[in-house]
Structure 1
């Protein structure tokens, strides 16, 4: 499987390392031999070798010089300087790993990257929420039209399979409600406040530990969770809602006094995304909610995520795990690549069966 990376920050590099580390197992277990042929990053340069890049050497060069274009290989001709769209359309990669920094409000440049890949009959896996939250229907139809794979497992709970798990293992159920803690930053802050910290001190600590960005607005005002609620609604429940359809309230207005008052009633506060389906209509909202201590989501502590699916046959199904982290997010991309490989092999079997 020839792979091109568009974006090569912490997540992209973590996936590249995983593919090197797990190469033997991927071949033995899935018949999947990853060959990274191109990497393009707006800050770190771009390199392309149709025969495959020496990834340990590339990572070493990047670590030492900060620019991938210092990479060389005496055994083959390396093309340098391709931009993201040229890397997608002009290389021999069959699948694109899209891990750029994307504007969630516009979905760019990831939306253009998805369109370019699909129109050129290339599959794509991504952790970018923007394209899935804003253009799920359109991009899904474009991928189907060109018979390519589109994977986005990591857009909701990183390496915790909040999307594929219910699709594959809860098949046959009608999921009538989803509620979840989908943002680790806010959950960490609320957990710290539960222990007595002020909102300001908890936020500062989250920033110090790398859980929160310098500008934490998207997390603390609930916008990140809102986009994830849209993805869950449309992908798992057959909705067609937009971020503007999701009422949203963050945690910045929660005080120490409020938290203490809630604790005195043996409850806790969590920022929840809640999605309901009734009579064919889907509604979704994101807001802080008081939870009883015996609610499974009340037990989710720190920068962890949790999600509860209410199913008509299986009943409530609870899933929890890491919602962030470089290696965890890289693993979500690996999940998608493995499932892409599985689909490829199934198509080959179908062709062989029909031919016989």
Structure 2
């Protein structure tokens, strides 16, 4: 199917409401950009009815015009951004090129020219959201960014609009499909390295997966969600971040024995007026809804004072799921233009709220130790935690290793600084051979308290 099919008289098929057109410019025609073009073509009449106007890609910015692209039809192409930005007929700029530059410069130029912007760029929003929204406000136009978090999962608009009557208490979830796939495979007993290789072979991981496995991608996404949820400016650099590279299948196996699943959790909550925002591996009770989210799926929980807890789940990445969110935003912009409404999607996330220091945040912790197997060592370990003011919920001696005994510990909720103090003491003991990657324990606190 050609992107713009013509009838026998040469006119455009699917003209809607007097043949009106909303002309958009695509910045980028890669995986997501080509998906947007394909979706607009495939559902042309349906989208026109929903938008109240025909939507046409007037031009797309690409690096190489001659490159073979994953679509059956041709979009007018250019290698010059100014051909799109300076075009008076183009009312909406759709940025799907990714990265910070030149995307930031192009979006700022588009806003200055009075053009609405739709973007899927989490990196840009997590670092320069304040500047972008200030420029949009000054120009009286909108920025829509549903696709920046969760791919095809609708989360931005529900958080901004549908749940606006709530005080949001907490937002947390699985927001990176690559790491969720890796952890799902490790839960079956294979190593991190083997699971990562499988993810690459299946197209679920980039050649350089650092942003995923170090938690940086999740940090950008939770920064955006926290900014909206708590009306504060949260940047990716404000997120305390721990990835999954140091986890071993044994950690997941022991967690499973204790009734938990391990997930890379992105979490944001407001505590006494301060924002706690972090990404780190976490144990979730088997009965928790997020524990059932496996493979490349994403899921986000939102806790509000009126609505309680709601969950949004689905495909968090991929060509067509992400394109679905982008096209939804384009339709929303079309509605605004048809209604003569501008500046409707402003950002309120400018409040300078303090951040909770990580060492002050209370959590339960899971940690696996390797220690010398001799009388008195368990008592010495317990005393190290007690001296640091950490109460232990569970202490289990597991298998014998070549060096000694393996101990699995879960604590009651405690401040991070107390837990770190206990680990420092353990590290100094000659009887301690290894302290493996600690994880937080999240979910229903009654589960931890009552699961003896």
Structure 2 equivalent of residue 22 of structure 1? 43
User: How many angstroms apart in 2 are the aligned matches of 1:337 and 1:142?
Assistant: 19
Q: What pairs up with 1:81-92 in 2 under 5 angstroms?
A: 81-90=78-87, 92=89
In 2, Cα distance between the equivalents of 1:232 and 1:171? Answer: 13
Correspondences of 1:214-229 after superposition (within 5 Å): 214-229=207-222
CA separation of 1:243 and 1:212: change in aligned 2, threshold 3 A: same
The answer as to 2:273 corresponding to 1:257 is no
Larger Rg: 2
Shift of 1:56: 5.8
2:301 to 302, 305, 308: 308
- 5+ unaligned residues in a row in structure 1: which ranges? 47-54, 60-67, 70-80, 350-356
Secondary structure at the counterpart of residue 302 of structure 2: strand
Partner residue, 1:122: 115
Task: Work out the CA distance in 2 between the residues paired with 1:253 and 1:289.
Answer: 13
Q: Residue 44 of structure 1: CA displacement?
A: 3.1
In the other structure, the counterpart of 1:98 is 95
TM-score for the superposition, normalised by structure 2: 0.68
Shifted more, 337-346 versus 294-303: the winner is 337-346
**Structure 1 residues 348 and 217, CA, compared in 2 at 3 Å: closer, same or farther?**
closer
* Structure 2 residue corresponding to 1:191, chosen from 184, 189, 192: 184
Runs of 4+ in 1 over 6 A off after TM superposition: none
Shift of 1:343: 1.7
Partner of 2:126: 133
Q: Kindly indicate which of the two structures has a greater share of residues assigned to helix.
A: 1
Q: Cα–Cα, structure 1 residues 227 and 238, in superposed 2: closer, same or farther, change >3 Å?
A: same
SS in 2 for 1:307: strand
| Conserved 8 A contact 2:150-2:298 | yes
Aligned residues: CA RMSD: 1.9
Q: Secondary structure at the residue paired with 2:262?
A: strand
Provide the residue aligned with 1:272 in structure 2.
265
Give yes or no for contact 1:136–1:234 (8 Å, CA) kept in 2: no
Question: Which structure exhibits the higher relative contact order, with contacts defined as CA atoms closer than 8 Å and separated by 6 or more residues?
Answer: 1
| SS across alignment from 1:94 | strand
**Is it true that 1:37 corresponds to 2:58 in the alignment?**
yes
Equivalent of 1:58 in 74, 95, 108: 74
CA distance in structure 1 between the partners assigned to 2:23 and 2:72 by the alignment: 17
Quote the residue 1:240 is aligned against: 233
Uncovered stretches (5+) of structure 2, i.e. residues with no partner: 1-21, 343-452
- Give the Å deviation of 1:89: 2.5
CA contact (8 A) 2:169 2:269 kept: yes
Please state how far the C-alpha of 1:295 moved relative to its aligned partner.
Answer: 1.1
Matching residue of 2:201: 208
Q: How many residues are matched? A: 318
Separation in 2, partners of 1:120, 1:108: 19
Counterpart CA distance in 2 for 1:311 and 1:346 is 31
Structure 1 CA distance for aligned equivalents of residues 88 and 28 of structure 2: 15
- Deviation readout 1:238-286 (Å, 9 max, x if unpaired): 1112222111000010001111111111211000011011333212000
Structure 2 matches for 1:315-334, cutoff 5 A?
A: 315-334=308-327
CA contact (8 A) 2:168 2:305 kept: yes
What is the CA–CA distance in structure 2 between the aligned matches of 1:118 and 1:303, rounded to whole Å? 35
